[in-house]
Amino acid sequence: MDGNQPSAGLWSIAEREERLLAPYAMRGADSRGRRRPETEHPYRGPFQRDRDRVLHCAAFRRLSGKMQVFTGERGDYHRTRLTHTHEVASIARTIGRALRLNEDLVEALALFHDIGHPPFGHAGEDALNECLAEHGGFSHNQFALTLAEDLEQRHSEFPGLNLTEEVLEGQRTRVKHGKSAARLLEVQVVDIADSITYDAHDTDDAVKLGLVALEELSQLPLVRETLRFVRARSPRLDGNLLRKALVHDLIDRQVSAVLEHAGPRLAASGFATADEARHSDFRLGPDAALAEEKAELERFLYKRVYRHPELLRVRAVAQQQLMALFEVFRRDAAKLPVRYQRRAEQVGIERSIGDYLAGMTDRFCDQQYQQLVLGSSGA
């Protein structure tokens, strides 16, 4: 390779994007770049490099030890935060590719989107938020930015991953929860893919774990309609195979609905650039009827799964562990790793403890609780 030009026979990133992407897709060449400028790579575009940085960072690998909805106590079938993330990336790429958006950016955003989750999922997040109530609170979306800009180490000269502004900005719109915030189409793709993914896999996990019965779920219009299609195609399916076919079709149906609704509107939009699309009032999503059916499924999952007594029990244990550990470190900062003792000098002891706890996997958090709170070796 010579400088930042690709060798003969290889496509440059700009050439590839020019041939494949829609006018309203974000282009690598138009990126607002990185806080610390870097020479472009000859054949890996800026968003591809972001994806690889996320994939190779410590916080990403730790997602394998973090629960999505169910803890490891319930076996090994259900999703972890890592497998959830891969499912989101896969569905997001399908949507992004079909709409001729920038798949590299979509993938980087998807792999990054949940990287800030603390141990024990939303229960852990709520516990940390309470611990830090007087110190700015805690949100997993914000913590993803702290990881990317501060805590991850890969350069000797500066902290963080030095991701592009587009990936960081996409994550910032998640922090603000602002549905009205101007978001690149690629960011919208990941948001909708995230929601399609958890609707489908939480349904799958809840049925597989026996928390809800398929018969009960089939009273919801979205599930009922989907099952009707599955049964028309394969009348003999039952048990596990029926459940798997339902999950497949739930995803397919929702992805198709998004594409059928958004594709023609985008084609007719006349958007000439990614920026034009971003600042318009176009929002990626399914048609209103499917959006309502989807909301109904989500209300059901909230009541019957996320608020299931067994999950509430796990939630209580997780919160107790995190809060007790928080107190242990606050009383005796010397128990923190040296790195977080030093960090406390910049961000305050509470925030530094929160950052340390948020980085833990479920199992490590449990071990630390056994050791530091209960005083056993945990062996």
Which residues lie near Mg ion (CB under 5 A)? 114, 194
Quick one: 114 or 350, whose CB is closer to Mg ion? 114
Task: Report the alpha-carbon distance of residue 185 to residue 286 in Å, rounded.
Answer: 14
Quick one: 117 or 308, whose CB is closer to Mg ion? 117
Q: How far is the CB of 367 from Mg ion (least distance, A)?
A: 26
Give the CA angle between residues 169, 47, 150 to the nearest 5°.
Answer: 55
Name the residue among 17, 32, 336 with its Cα closest to residue 164: 32
Q: How far is the CB of 117 from Mg ion (least distance, A)?
A: 8
Quick one: 194 or 205, whose CB is closer to Mg ion? 194
Quick one: 31 or 171, whose CB is closer to Mg ion? 171
- Per the document, the length of the chain is 379
* Tokens standing for residue 169: 């900005």
Single-letter amino acid, residue 183? R
Task: Report the alpha-carbon distance of residue 326 to residue 338 in Å, rounded.
Answer: 16
SS3 153: strand
Q: Please, is 144 exposed, middle or buried when counting C-beta atoms within 10 Å of its C-beta (0-12, 13-18, 19+)?
A: buried
Quick one: 114 or 152, whose CB is closer to Mg ion? 114
Quick one: 71 or 162, whose CB is closer to Mg ion? 71
Q: How far is the CB of 141 from Mg ion (least distance, A)?
A: 10
Q: How far is the CB of 202 from Mg ion (least distance, A)?
A: 11
* Tokens standing for residue 300: 């059901």
Name the residue among 59, 57, 105 with its Cα closest to residue 81: 59
Q: How far is the CB of 114 from Mg ion (least distance, A)?
A: 4
Task: Report the alpha-carbon distance of residue 198 to residue 91 in Å, rounded.
Answer: 11
Name the residue among 64, 110, 108 with its Cα closest to residue 87: 110
The backbone torsions φ and ψ at residue 67, rounded to the nearest 5 degrees and listed phi first, read -75, 155
Are residues 311 and 71 in contact, defined by beta-carbon separation less than 8 angstroms?
A: no
How far from 46 is each of 19, 34, 52, 114, CA to CA, in Å? 18, 9, 10, 21
Quick one: 114 or 355, whose CB is closer to Mg ion? 114
Q: How far is the CB of 194 from Mg ion (least distance, A)?
A: 4
SS3 288: helix
Q: How far is the CB of 208 from Mg ion (least distance, A)?
A: 20
Name the residue among 276, 269, 267, 274 with its Cα closest to residue 47: 274
Q: How far is the CB of 82 from Mg ion (least distance, A)?
A: 11
Quick one: 34 or 84, whose CB is closer to Mg ion? 84
